[in-house]
């Protein structure tokens, strides 16, 4: 088959710009999504013959040797893989599935074993970065899988990402993504609370941000969210509140599996669960600041 053709299942907030990035780098994308608007958005402005669509995952597998999944969670990945018209039963020897969403590591390993039983491979390759980085093809991508699978996946991954980090065996990338996002969430929560306390004291929040960024409190939230999204009131960092809660829950499953008493993780999960209940899952994750401001 044409190695420049890539199946792409899941054209959501991140998946759409990632698929567009592949098109911009000369790949032919066979898309699959239930949304008419998402399909139209991918086709819009694409060179002739660069984009086509399949009615279901099985049809994607019939036409592409490499299939990217960019789906919200493990439950939906399982539906796409195991459900009617699913990908798993249509896999052929030599095929590669790249799960780029934020899935449960144990479920990732299960699906990798099922794919291997059909002579195919599955790697986990979750991403780190905002929608803006997806648009420019500069995401950071973690990859779990063996050498042969990585070699096949790498050209496709470099069509969407800038930093490619191998993490070990299948499932390790999804585990590291969840733990990374827990650390980010803790930093964002601390930043939001510091800004709320500074506000209560009448401090200049811009200067407080400068102090944190020049000092030991510096983190990705102080650098890219404090002034840009929180102080401005824009709250549009590019990552949904509900997705952050999901990643924290995945980290919680790792804590349970390992028997580690992760107290700070439990606190973050509680705060994000409360924020999702109050604000809904689709608002931006930086609105955790608005949520804690309302808790008086």
Query: Distance (Å, rounded) from C-alpha 93 to C-alpha 91?
Result: 7
Q: Quick check: is 295 catalytic? A: no
Question: Residue 15's closest CA among 80, 90, 84, 59?
Answer: 80
Give, in order, the Cα–Cα distances in Å from 41 to each of 10, 51, 196: 13, 11, 39
The answer to whether the beta carbons of residues 81 and 114 sit under 8 Å apart is: yes
The answer to whether the beta carbons of residues 137 and 162 sit under 8 Å apart is: yes
Query: Distance (Å, rounded) from C-alpha 128 to C-alpha 134?
Result: 9
Q: Which two tokens stand for residue 230?
A: 């929180």
Q: CA torsion 249→147→86→109, rounded to 10°? A: -40
Question: Residue 83's closest CA among 95, 94, 71?
Answer: 71
3 state DSSP class of 24: helix
Catalytic residue of the set 133, 152, 177, 225: 177
- Residue 149's contacts (CB-CB under 8 Å, 6 or more residues apart) are 96, 121, 122, 123
Distance of CA 139 to the CA centre of its chain: 10
Active site residues per annotation: 177
């Amino acid at each position: 088959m044409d190695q420049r053709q890539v199946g792409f299942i899941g054209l959501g907030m991140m998946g759409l710009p990632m698929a567009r990035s592949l098109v911009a780098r000369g790949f032919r994308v066979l898309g699959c999504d239930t949304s008419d608007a998402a399909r139209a958005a991918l086709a819009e402005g694409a060179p002739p013959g660069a984009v086509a669509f399949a009615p279901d995952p099985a049809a994607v597998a019939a036409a592409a040797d490499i299939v990217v999944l960019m789906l919200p969670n493990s439950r939906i990945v399982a539906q796409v893989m195991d459900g009617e018209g699913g990908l798993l039963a249509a896999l052929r020897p030599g095929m590669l599935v790249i799960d780029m969403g934020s899935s449960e590591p144990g479920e990732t390993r299960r699906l990798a074993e099922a794919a291997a039983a059909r002579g195919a491979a599955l790697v986990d390759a979750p991403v780190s970065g905002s929608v803006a980085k997806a648009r420019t093809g500069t995401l950071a991508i973690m990859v779990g899988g063996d050498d042969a699978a990585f070699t096949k996946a790498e050209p496709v991954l470099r069509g969407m990402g800038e930093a490619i980090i191998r993490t070990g065996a299948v499932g390790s990338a999804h585990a590291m993504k969840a733990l990374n996002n827990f650390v980010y969430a803790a930093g964002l929560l601390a930043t939001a609370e510091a800004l709320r306390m500074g506000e209560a004291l009448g401090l200049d929040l811009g200067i407080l941000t400068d102090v944190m960024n020049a000092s030991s409190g510096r983190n990705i939230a102080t650098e890219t969210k404090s002034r840009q999204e929180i102080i401005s009131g824009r709250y549009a960092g590019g990552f949904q509140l509900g997705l952050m809660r999901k990643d924290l829950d995945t980290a919680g499953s790792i804590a349970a599996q390992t028997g580690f008493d992760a107290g700070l993780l439990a606190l973050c999960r509680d705060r994000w669960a409360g924020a999702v209940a109050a604000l809904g899952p689709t608002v931006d994750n930086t609105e955790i600041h608005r949520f804690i401001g309302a808790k008086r």
